[in-house]
Amino acid sequence: MDQTVKKKDCCSSKEVSGDQYDLIVVGAGSAGFSASITAAEAGKRVALVGHGTIGGTCVNVGCVPSKAMIRAAEAVHGGASAARFPGISPCAHAVDWGGVVKGTADLVEEMRQKKYIDLLPAYENVTYIEEGPARLVEGGVAVGGRVISAPRVLIATGSRPHIPVIDGIEAVEALDSWGLLTLPDRPESILFLGGGYIGCELAQMASRLGVKVTLVTRSRLLPGAEPEVTEALTEALKVEGITVETGLAYVSVAKAAGGVSLTVERGGKTEDLTAERLVVTTGRIANSENLGLEELGIETDARGSVMVGPDMATTRAGVWAAGDVTDRDQFVYMAAYGAKVAINNALGLEQMRYDNAAMPWVVFTDPQVAGVGLSEAEAKTAGYDVKTSVITLDNVPRAAAARDTRGVIKLVADVKTDRLLGGQIAAPEGSETIQTLAMTLKFGMTAGALGETIFPYLTTVEGLKLAAQTFDKDVAKLSCCAG
């Protein structure tokens, strides 16, 4: 549950030289642009201070390039998997890895221009400043040898890949996610270190584009997901030829003949895993260093994430934060949302509180994994008397018609009220399905009401209706569209 961060006493602003603004935004990614536009539309004068490449993580090194290459890999896989339909022969597509990478880079450049650079002239009261590293100081922000002043500052500097401390990792030219997405030549084999959403997405993408892939993780894949969902995804990846190694301890990394060797410990014994390249996908860390936060009493957690309250205010009066630099959800749409919450509160426009109770999330593997609300474990921890419903996709007519029954749907509800608390899905069209469940949570629907709702036949989203009905009946005994 959210708790407002207690503000520390702070000194009054000193008289500073430089330009005067109503708001300074540090960071020009999704959160930074969302904040700047919100403030500009309210008639405020905004200084948008660049931090890294304009556009931030999503368009430059995250969502856009990764999903573009995942889609390309999906097209390749579509030809190879066509034989699941009677009368259809599979086909193998030639893959030019360098061509895919180049085309992805072109798309990134186009979207950065269209969705960020070209937007700036439309907001005359937003001044974009890109003069080097910025640092928060008393009364404003120091950048480019000068101080710009404003009564309000928003920190939106994002995050970067986290490289774990493993003996020898500095010497093997380990790639992060962006390093893989810009690699000019396709490697023969890759070891992926980390089984979170980035590792799972990129491991499958690389495998479908012709790389021999080994995915290694300390726990299980997607450790925050429901066990049934993780199991379905793990099996799907293995069927595609990806080696999945879970429950291991990382010991050391070293150069080896033709690549890199990772020494792991399993059951008290060590063994070596080898590949041409090592890709590290073990999470992200906030870009909060060198901003002068400690000097101003702005608190961060152990990973450097800026601590904020439900109003997105930091522990320094007059300073707010949003996006991946905070201790909140690390999704681009939540970064933009958090920035709007922050600016509305900072400018006194509308009192808002950060609310992620009905926040959907998606992992763009195949099957796609998506969820919203509480998992079974989270609901029990929150004190609910929980009931669950689990159906495999072979119970969903759409999956049967598509000859692709990989996946599962799980719903969680409160026994006393029948109100839905959350749900997760692993399905080829899971990303398009989860929003319906998000709406049921947002408006407090019960499992019974969802089960009685009319859904179009032969859709993946109909699986939510079937999963809701499964709380009380065996849907395998129903005829098509019955119930």
Return the number of other C-beta atoms located less than 10 Å from residue 476's C-beta. 10
Rounded CA gap, 470 and 477, in Å? 11
Q: Collapsing DSSP states into helix, strand and coil, what is residue 284?
A: strand
As given in the structure block, the two tokens for residue 178 are: 């962006």
Torsional class of 396: left (φ above 0), alpha (ψ -120 to 50), beta (otherwise): beta
Q: H or E stretch including 320?
A: strand 319-321
- Sequence ranges of the binding site: 67, 157-159, 194-201, 283, 324
Token output for 165: 């401390």
Rg (CA), the chain: 24
**Among candidates 311, 269, 296, 27, which has minimal Cα distance to 154?**
27
Q: If we measure between CA atoms, which residue out of 397, 388, 407, 403 comes closest to residue 455?
A: 397
Count of Cβ atoms closer than 10 Å to residue 106 Cβ: 11
Q: How far apart are CA 372 and CA 377, in angstroms?
A: 14
User: Binding site for NAD(+), residues?
Assistant: 194-201, 283
| Sheet bearing 153-155, strands edge to edge | 126-129, 46-49, 23-26, 153-155, 319-321
Whole-angstrom Cα distance, residue 123 to residue 43? 10
Which runs of E-coded beta strand occur in 150-299?
A: 153-155, 159-161, 189-193, 212-216, 243-245, 249-256, 259-266, 269-275, 277-280, 284-286
Cα separation, 218 vs 247, whole angstroms:
5
Annotated binding site for FAD: 67, 157-159, 324
Rounded distance, CA 282 to CA 300, Å? 20
- Alpha helix (H) residue ranges in 289-406: 332-346, 376-381, 397-401
- Ramachandran class of 408: left when φ > 0, alpha when ψ lies in -120 to 50, beta otherwise: beta
Tokens of 114: 């269209």
Spatial CA neighbour of 393 closest among 151, 229, 256, 280? 229
- A 10 A CB-CB count for 376 gives 21
Contacts of 268 (CB under 8 A, 6+ apart): none
